């Protein structure tokens, strides 16, 4: 699945384990050494070309950050572990197309400093639950067969009793995970969608059958699993298409092995629409009805979102009555209409509910 044409390595990370792994995996590709990072937007190449260059550099800045939520919406308390930016998978709807002005797929290879920062962050929490994820700005596992980052991360987090790391992916790249001696610190999650959406919009991603086969293999290994139906995309026949995906999920995965399932309808920054229209002119979903929302994004009308969520919850709970199903970045009004309650109002917060699903509680 890798279509890289060149590897660039900042000399600062030349001797790191991750850099050695990448050089070994791509020993036949042209290799360029640099002494400084390029200025944002200075390379003058297209996004499609940029995805063909893998750049190893050092991470600079705040390693762990809260997921960028909006105060008017209900947030899950997820913390982002920033290990890479941009993604080798090329989904037409991907918000990263309008989010970053940095070229190339960037892997942060200064793992010793990264893990030292992570240790300091976890220590500051003084035993409070920490749910981290690496899949906000990249796919968590797409490059794992060559970077072997999951193996390095597993060793780094092995002694933290109050931490879990969610690895979100649209890939089938689980080889390293199946070899790990411990499974307790990772939640392995797959982004799922209707079969037609996967085939038409998720370019370079594993197919639905491949993702579910990978999840099933991880289930047998003993991992806790997560699934994310995000973005749900409205299209003719969406009910049958998404119900089919739910049916196929539970044909292979036992409900008791699922930590959580999230739902989120497609939403986008206004700057993303012309990018989709230019890069993916055959994608029609961007031409549906959208309305401005309080977070500055465009969303389906509330009535449509509520209908899609209710249908999805019904199909899921037909197989798994006790499943932890939640909405990603939705308003209290929508939560009330879908579930009949609002997290934090006479109920645990969403963060507390998710922590409880993996056996973590505040001290």
9: in domain: no
Task: Decide: 102 and 137 in contact? Cβ < 8 Å.
Answer: no
Looking at residue 44, what is its pLDDT? Answer: 64
Q: How many domains does the chain have?
A: 1
**166 phi and psi, to 5 degrees?**
-95, 125
pLDDT above 70 (res 81)? yes
Residue 43 confidence class, pLDDT cut points 50, 70, 90: low
Least confident span in 48-57, 146-155, 162-171: 48-57
How is residue 287 annotated by DSSP? G
Q: Are 52 and 4 in contact (CB under 8 A)?
A: yes
Specify the pLDDT at position 68.
75
pLDDT value of position 193: 98
Residue 335 resides in a domain? yes
Tell me the mean pLDDT in the region 86-95. Answer: 94
CATH at 265: 3.80.30.30
> Contact at 8 Å (CB) between 233 and 276?
no
For residue 360, what pLDDT band results from cuts at 50, 70 and 90? confident
231 occurs within a structural domain: yes
- Tokens 């200075």 belong to 42
Domain with 268 in it: 59-82+130-357
Distance between CA atoms of residues 204 and 225, nearest Å: 23
Q: How confident is the model at residue 4 (pLDDT cuts 50, 70, 90)?
A: very high
Residue 33: C-alpha distances to residues 54, 114, 261, 314 (Å):
12, 22, 42, 54
Per-residue model confidence as pLDDT tens digits over 206-233: 999 999 999 999 999 999 999 999 999 9
Closest by Cα among 175, 143, 140, 154 to 56: 143
Confidence of residue 99 (pLDDT cuts 50, 70, 90): confident
In the prediction, which pLDDT does 3 show? Answer: 86
In tens, the pLDDT along 186-203 reads 999 999 999 999 999 999
Q: Which residues contact 203 (CB under 8 A, 6 or more apart)?
A: 89, 90, 91, 92
Structure tokens that stand for 246 in this block: 């739910």
Structural domain includes residue 30: no
Predicted pLDDT at 42: 56
Mean pLDDT (whole number) for 321-338: 96
Tokens coding 316: 């899921």
What is the pLDDT at residue 172?
97
Q: State percent of the chain over pLDDT 70.
A: 98
What pLDDT does residue 8 have?
95
Confidence of residue 74 (pLDDT cuts 50, 70, 90): very high
Measured CA to CA, the distance from residue 286 to residue 274 in angstroms comes to 10
- Residue 6 located in a structural domain: no
Contact between 9 and 56 under an 8 Å Cβ cutoff? The reply is yes
Percent of the chain with pLDDT over 90: 84
The answer, yes or no, to whether residue 165 has pLDDT greater than 90, is yes
Domain-located, residue 16: no
Q: What is the mean pLDDT of residues 313-320?
A: 98
pLDDT tens profile 245-278: 999 999 999 999 999 999 999 999 999 999 999 9
Q: Answer yes or no: is pLDDT of 342 > 90.
A: yes
Q: Could you report the per-residue pLDDT of 109-124, keeping only the tens digit for each?
A: 999 999 999 999 999 9
Distance CA 185, CA 225 (A): 12
Whether 175 and 142 have beta carbons less than 8 Å apart is answered as no
**Domain-located, residue 110:** no
Residue 312 lies in a domain: yes
- Residue-wise pLDDT for 139-158, tens only, equals 999 999 999 999 999 999 99
């Amino acid at each position: 699945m890798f279509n890289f044409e060149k590897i660039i390595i900042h000399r600062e990370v030349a001797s790191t384990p991750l850099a050695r792994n990448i050089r070994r995996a791509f020993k036949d590709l042209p290799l360029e050494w640099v002494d400084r990072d390029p200025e944002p937007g200075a390379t003058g190449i297209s996004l499609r070309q940029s995805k063909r260059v893998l750049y190893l550099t050092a991470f600079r800045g705040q390693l762990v950050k809260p997921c960028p939520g909006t105060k008017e919406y209900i947030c899950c308390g997820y913390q982002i572990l920033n290990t890479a930016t941009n993604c080798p998978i090329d989904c037409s709807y991907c918000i990263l197309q309008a989010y970053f002005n940095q070229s190339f797929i960037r892997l942060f290879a200064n793992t010793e400093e990264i893990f030292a920062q992570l240790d300091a962050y976890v220590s500051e929490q003084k035993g409070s639950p920490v749910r981290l994820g690496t899949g906000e700005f990249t796919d968590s596992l797409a490059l794992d067969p060559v970077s072997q980052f999951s193996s390095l991360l597993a060793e780094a987090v092995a002694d933290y009793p109050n931490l879990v790391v969610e690895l979100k992916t649209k890939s089938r790249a689980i080889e390293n995970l199946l070899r790990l001696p411990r499974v307790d610190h990772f939640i392995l999650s797959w982004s799922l969608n209707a079969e037609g959406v996967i085939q038409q919009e998720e370019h370079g991603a594993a197919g639905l059958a491949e993702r579910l086969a990978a999840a099933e293999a991880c289930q047998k290994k003993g991992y806790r699993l997560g699934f994310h139906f995000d973005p749900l995309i409205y299209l003719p026949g969406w009910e049958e298409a998404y119900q089919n995906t739910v049916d196929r999920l539970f044909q292979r995965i036992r409900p008791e092995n699922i930590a959580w399932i999230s739902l989120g309808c497609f939403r986008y920054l206004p700057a993303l629409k012309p990018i989709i229209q230019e890069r993916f002119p055959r994608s029609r979903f961007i031409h549906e009805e959208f309305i401005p929302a309080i977070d500055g994004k465009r969303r389906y009308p509330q009535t449509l979102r509520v209908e899609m969520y209710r249908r999805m919850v019904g199909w899921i709970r037909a197989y798994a009555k006790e499943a932890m199903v939640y909405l990603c970045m939705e308003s209290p009004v929508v939560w009330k209409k879908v579930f009949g309650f609002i997290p934090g109002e006479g109920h645990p917060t969403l963060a507390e509910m998710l922590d409880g699903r993996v056996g973590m509680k505040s001290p």
